Homo-oligomer: A and B are copies of this chain.
């Protein structure tokens, strides 16, 4: 049995968050608390002990995942050949968007945007905005190094991100799935990087 800190059971906190993310992500934000409780193997009261309300539970889900979502975007090494670095960015973005986790996270946030605009904004800042910023920084650095000729790094970052995830994002939101085989991801990321380099190359 797990160690507990206060008297509150941390393992249950995680189980609740996992169950809630799963249930709310697939069934929509209107999914009932009872189902979350059932899925988490926990009584409804316990959920309210840990998080005070449904809104705060949702907040907790997003807060927990938001940094872990943008984190992989630090990884791609900026010192390789630009083609590989760019493709790396693209691959990570695509995986983020196609993975059930990222998908349901976005869906939840969109659905919550009406009632909790602050949450939507926080998600936007931590997710899309941050990733664009990192990409823009990379483009700026590469331009300074003379390997690219990007005049407006922010716009160029938007362009590249849009190329890679554009369609799939909205297809995912609408529940119009197409499978996400790794080789497709790789092909799209590589091709987007290649075309982008042609569009913004120094030549």
- Chain A residues in the interface with B (C-beta under 8 A): 27-28, 30, 106-107, 109-111, 113-115, 117, 120-121, 123-124, 128, 132, 152, 155, 158-159, 161-167, 169-171, 173-176, 188, 191-192, 195-196, 198-200
Contact = CB atoms under 8 A, between A and B. Distances in A.
A69 to B, nearest CB: 14
Contacts of A169: 166, 169-170
B158 A167 contact: yes
A9 B188 CA distance: 52
Given A111-B111, A198-B199, A162 B173 contact: no
A120 B106 CA distance: 17
24 contacts: A27-B114, A28-B115, A110-B173, A114-B175, A120-B176, A121-B176, A123-B174, A128-B170, A128-B171, A132-B167, A152-B191, A158-B163, A158-B167, A159-B192, A159-B195, A161-B162, A161-B167, A162-B163, A162-B167, A163-B163, A166-B166, A166-B169, A195-B200, A196-B199
Given A163-B159, A163-B163, A167-B128, A174 B109 contact: yes
A109 B107 CA distance: 12
Contacts of A110: 107, 110-111, 173-174
A87 to B, nearest CB: 14
A124 B195 contact: no
Contacts of A114: 27-28, 175
A159 B173 CA distance: 18
A31 to B, nearest CB: 9
Contacts of A159: 163, 166, 192, 195
A121 B27 CA distance: 17
B120 A175 contact: yes
A145 to B, nearest CB: 20
